[in-house]
Amino acid sequence: MRKIIIAGNWKMNKGLDETRDFFQEVVSALRGVELGSIVPVVAPAYPFLAEALRESFGSDILVSAQEVSLNSDGAYTGEVSAAMLKSLNLPYCIIGHSERRQYHNESDANVQHKLLKLLAHGITPIVCIGETLAQRDANQTEAVVLAQLKGCLQDVPLKTGTEIIIAYEPVWAIGTGRTATPEQAQEVHALIRSWMMENYSGVVATNLSILYGGSVKPDNLALLLACEDIDGGLIGGASLKAEDFIEMVKIAREADLLIGLCQSGD
Ligand code: PGA
């Protein structure tokens, strides 16, 4: 059964006290809640990863980095390597976010390089892909998404499909309040899964968690999760409020229980 991941991407928000407060509230609210296949993940800024790990220790909330360096070590001022993240025992790291692609000229080749570095250190990459509005309007969504998949996963060996997570984030839906409709998102998620099937295997395609990102919030999460190929969300703005994050984890759990019930009734 695929994991359903509710991942908060805090971007450049929250300092030390806010990070601590958020984790204390979420850890306490979810203590004793049976989460089944739901995995809550939060990605704070680098300086607060250790605090987040400390506060979430022993809970079901996992911590992710937002980025990693292309390089292994040495004279790269301001960068953080995969080995450094591993030394914190960090389970996840986001790569290829459209803001990195846009403001830091990151290419699919960069993402592929980072992905291999993370895998070599046993960290699960959350690989972001997605088209811009101009590309969608020019009917290029499919071509863009497939080219990104191909570029990011070139020579990346996958056996189980649980080594990575893909986040489909249409750029036009990020931080705009304009969510893709469940149908629009499902169409691209199905495309991604069938590409994984053709280029890897049925096992990889079946086990791979594909998250949707772009203005996800408590109000629209349930409908997105009801889609066959949407296995969670990568959530920016709405993940900053502890109560919304808690609510989204609970919505995911309810959706998962409902799907389980439908399947057992088949
Ligand atoms: P948003 O951001 O939920 O604020 O749209 C999503 C993301 O950038 O990952």
Tell me how crowded residue 191 is: count the other CB atoms within 10 A of its CB: 17
Alpha helices (runs of H) in 167-217, residue ranges in sequence order? 182-199, 202-207
Tell me how crowded residue 136 is: count the other CB atoms within 10 A of its CB: 18
For 77, phi then psi, to 5°, come to: -50, 130
pLDDT confidence bin for 134, thresholds 50/70/90: very high
What mean pLDDT do residues 96-123 have?
98
How long is the chain? 266
Q: Residue 119 is part of which domain span? A: 4-265
Which residue owns the Cα nearest ligand 1 atom 1?
236
Q: SS3 for 241?
A: coil
CA distance 118 to 18: 28
Side chain identity at residue 85, one-letter code:
L
Q: Which of 55, 97, 131, 163 is catalytic?
A: 97
CA distance 82 to 144: 28
Report the percentage of the chain scoring pLDDT > 70: 98
Tell me how crowded residue 229 is: count the other CB atoms within 10 A of its CB: 20
pLDDT in tens, 206-263: 999 999 999 999 999 999 999 999 999 999 999 999 999 999 999 999 998 887 766 6
pLDDT confidence bin for 265, thresholds 50/70/90: low
Please give the number of the atom of ligand 1 that sits closest to the Cα of 235. Answer: 3
What mean pLDDT do residues 67-72 have?
97
What distance in angstroms lies between residue 262's CA and the mean position of ligand 1's atoms?
30
What mean pLDDT do residues 99-123 have?
98
Kindly report whether the global pTM for this prediction surpasses the value 0.85.
yes
Q: What's the domain count of the chain?
A: 1
Report whether pLDDT(137) > 90: yes
What mean pLDDT do residues 17-30 have?
98
CATH for 203? 3.20.20.70
Rg (CA), the chain: 17
Please give the number of the atom of ligand 1 that sits closest to the Cα of 177. Answer: 5
